[in-house]
Every structure is written in structure tokens, then in C-alpha cells.
Amino acid sequence: MEKIDKKSNSKILLYKEGIIKFINTQTNSQIKKTINIEKINQIDYLIGILFLTEMNRYCKLSNISVHGYYIAYSLIILFIEIKQKLITNKNIKSDSIINFYNNLASNIEYYNSRLDNMHPIKKKINENFSTLILEISPLLNDIILYTKQHVITPTNSTNQINQTNQTNTNISENQEFKTSKFASLFNSDATDISDLNLNIDTTNNNIIGCCNINCYICWVDKILTKFFYILLIIAKFMGTGVTRDPNLYKLSEYYSNVLYTMIKLDDIALKNSSNNMDKVYQLLFDNYQDYKSKLIYSILELKINSDTVDEIINMLDNYIMGKFLIKNNIKYNVNL
């Protein structure tokens, strides 16, 4: 696991220390018992750090000085459970959802205690808080209720995937998938289906099973993109009172593809899910490089770049590239 250098002037180290201090100083036992702090790894902390970085940038523009540790910690816990759901199909705990909404409310309460009643952003945040809840609740519900089960007809599996894609919400529309590098993993011939390692049920000539390689739409569109949109829109809301930002939709997609690669590489089941792992890892690598470039370009284009964001992306990149080039011991066609 990539370590944060304690001797450096790392901004993400300062954020991490702030999150740990917040958790350790809470008298609310619910926060502490949600998860053992020792089980939070370096990459998990980056989720909370990304939220705090984005929130602080908006707050600075609005001349607001408040912290977002309640929300940051809840997002870390939610991300950890999302990873478990994706890899093992383990349900997200109800306590984590209750904790998320409670901590969001606690952060707003803290916010109100810190700002003067005449501050225009304070008024806007309180007026629009219910709108924010209405926006993020369906997305969170989708994440909680989503099941990894697929039903694919052997004679038309690609069309089935495309139809599933067309039913996505506005936030997760990703028509590029139809012609993407991952499309080859959804070929309808028996050899490719076998490579997907599905638990086969031949009832009604359907193939039914939990996703493995064939999880791009599921993991990215239906879960991770929605999670990152929740993170980014709450961060913006806390500094501006604004909800619904279309620019954050695509940014969420780019972040989700980067983290999709990380989670996929950490999934032990991936190694046993295909007879052609060189091809699988090459597809993952190409997709990662593509979306990392899109993420960096979009951050620059939206003028939301910062030293901390650069540090976050670099740390993720070091971790992911280490997985590709060291652990899996495979050579890739790298075009940098």
C-alpha cells in the first residue's frame, strides 16, 4: 500500500491527521463503532481528503471557514462498504446509511453555529438543504439496493448489455461503452461467456450469475459514478449552497473509472475469472490511462486544480501502476 511520507509537507498527510484526530475526539460512540479506524487504509483516506479538498476550495471562494470532517468520515465508511459490496456482494450496513445522514445533518448544524445569520451562503444552504437530500437520496438508494446479478441471453448478450446501459439515469449515461475497449468482453460465443466465470443457470436459456469481468456498467455507471457525484455535489453545496451541477457528472465518471481500476486490481476473483488475463489487464490498463487523462484535463479545464488534488491523483497513480507493473508482472503497451 502506498504510504504517505510523514516527513514531507504533504497536504494529504495533514488532512489525514485531521480526520484521525476528529474520529478520536468524538464522544459520539456511533461514529467510533461504525468501523475500526485501523481498518481504514491509505487509499480509503483519500476519499475523505478529496471531499475536504473540494469543500474547502468552495468555502474559501465564499469566505467561509468551517470543517467537513463529519461528512468526510461518513464518505470513507461508505466507500469501504461499497468496495465490499462490489467484490463480495456484501450488503451495505444500515448503520452506515444512518450514520451518513446523521453526520451530514451534524455538519450542517456545526456550519450554522459557525456562520453569522446574515451570511448569504448560510441562508442559501439552509434553504436548499432539502433539495440536496432529494437529489442524493435516490442515488444512494440505487447504490444500496443494487444487486450484482446479471441475466444475459447467450444469443444476444451484447444487446442485453446495451439495453441495460440505455436505462441508466441521466447522471450515469455512458453511451461510449457500446464501442468501448470493454465491449469485446461481452461477446456472445460460449468461450467468452465461460471466460466471464458466471454461475450458469440454463432456465429459459438465460445465463444468470454475479458479475466479474462483465461488471464495467455495474461498477462504474450504477455505483461508483453515483458515489462520486454524491461526494462532489455535497462538497460544492457546503461552500455555495448550489445543487445539481452538470459539470460534476462527467468528473464523477472520470474519478469512478480511476477507482474502478484500483478496486478491480484488488479483487482476487479477477485473477481466476478469465483464461486470457493478459488481454483483461491490457483492457484495464488502457481504460485507466484514458480516464486518468480525461480526469486531469477536465480538472484543468474547470480550473479546480490544486496541489492537493495533484497529490491525490499521483498517489492513486503510484498505487495502480504498482499493481500493474509489479504485482501482476505483466508488460503493457504504454503510450505516455
Largest CA distance in the chain: 66
Q: What is the DSSP letter of 202?
A: -
What pLDDT, on a 0 to 100 scale, did the predictor assign at position 253?
Answer: 95
Give long-range contacts, CB 8 A cutoff, 24+ apart: 178-183.
180/216, 180/287, 181/283, 181/286, 181/287, 182/216, 182/283, 182/287, 183/158
Instruction: Give the pLDDT score at 79.
Output: 95
Query: What's the confidence (pLDDT) of residue 149?
Result: 57
Q: Which three cell numbers stand for residue 227?
A: 458515489
**Length reported for the chain:** 336
> Does the reported pTM lie above 0.75?
yes
Task: Tell me the CB-side half-sphere exposure of residue 49, using CA atoms within 13 A.
Answer: 28
Task: Give CA–CA dist 330/285, Å, rounded.
Answer: 11
- As a whole number of angstroms, the distance between CA 51 and CA 303 comes to 17
Distance of CA 72 to the CA centre of its chain: 13
First to last CA, the chain: 24
**The predicted structure's pLDDT at residue 299:** 95
Q: What's the pLDDT at 180?
A: 38
Hey, what domains does the chain have and what are their CATH numbers? 11-327 (1.10.600)
Find all residues with CB under 8 Å of 213, minimum gap 6, and list them.
185, 195, 196, 197, 270, 273, 274, 280
Please provide the DSSP assignment of 69-128 as one string: HHHHHHHHHHHHHHHHHHHH-PPPPHHHHHHHHHHHHHHHHHHHHHS-TT-HHHHHHHHH
- Average pLDDT across each block of 10 residues of the chain; the chain has 336 residues. List them in order: 53 93 74 69 94 95 90 94 85 88 92 88 93 96 77 40 36 36 37 35 42 65 93 96 92 95 78 65 87 96 93 94 69 41
DSSP annotation of 3 reads: P
